[in-house]
């Protein structure tokens, strides 16, 4: 079964620091990749997605992610975090042939101090 690993359980940063959250998946075939964000007390929202094409994708609020096929990775980055980025971040993978389930990682909690 496919799995998604997020390397960091909890990341603590100061405002203006750079962010990189790791995500690796196990499926060897073609996949669609996503990052979702869950702000405190809210539901999950799509942050960015990769289906095909340019492996560097840009999402909302200055986030970007890079798909590295050889490493089965889809790491999330932001050059300068803000206090409002405090949230839980979930990487998710879907086998685009099956398309029945989005497999989520266990999530990374980001705490940004002002």
Partner 1 sequence: EAQVTQNPRYLITVTGKKLTVTCSQNMNHEYMSWYRQDPGLGLRQIYYSMNVEVTDKGDVPEGYKVSRKEKRNFPLILESPSPNQTSLYFCASSKIGLAGSNTGELFFGEGSRLTVL
Q: Is 30 one of the binding residues for partner 1 (CB under 8 A)?
A: no
* CA 9 to chain CA mean position, Å: 13
Interface region with partner 1, contact rule CB under 8 A, candidates 12-20, 63-71, 72-80, 90-98: 90-98
Question: Using CB under 8 A, which of 28, 53, 99, 114 touches partner 1?
Answer: 99
Q: Which residues bind partner 1 (CB under 8 A)?
A: 9, 32, 34, 36, 42-46, 49, 90, 92, 94, 96-102, 104-107
């Amino acid at each position: 079964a496919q799995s998604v690993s997020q390397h960091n359980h909890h990341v603590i940063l100061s405002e203006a620091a750079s962010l990189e959250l790791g995500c690796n998946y196990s499926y060897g075939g073609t996949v669609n990749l996503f990052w979702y964000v869950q702000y405190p007390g809210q539901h999950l929202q799509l942050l960015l997605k990769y289906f095909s094409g340019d492996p560097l994708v840009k999402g909302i609020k200055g986030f970007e992610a890079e798909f590295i096929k050889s490493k089965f990775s889809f790491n999330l980055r932001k050059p300068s975090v803000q206090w409002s980025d405090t949230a839980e971040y979930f990487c998710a993978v879907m086998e685009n042939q099956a398309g029945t389930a989005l497999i989520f990682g266990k999530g990374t909690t980001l705490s940004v101090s002002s």
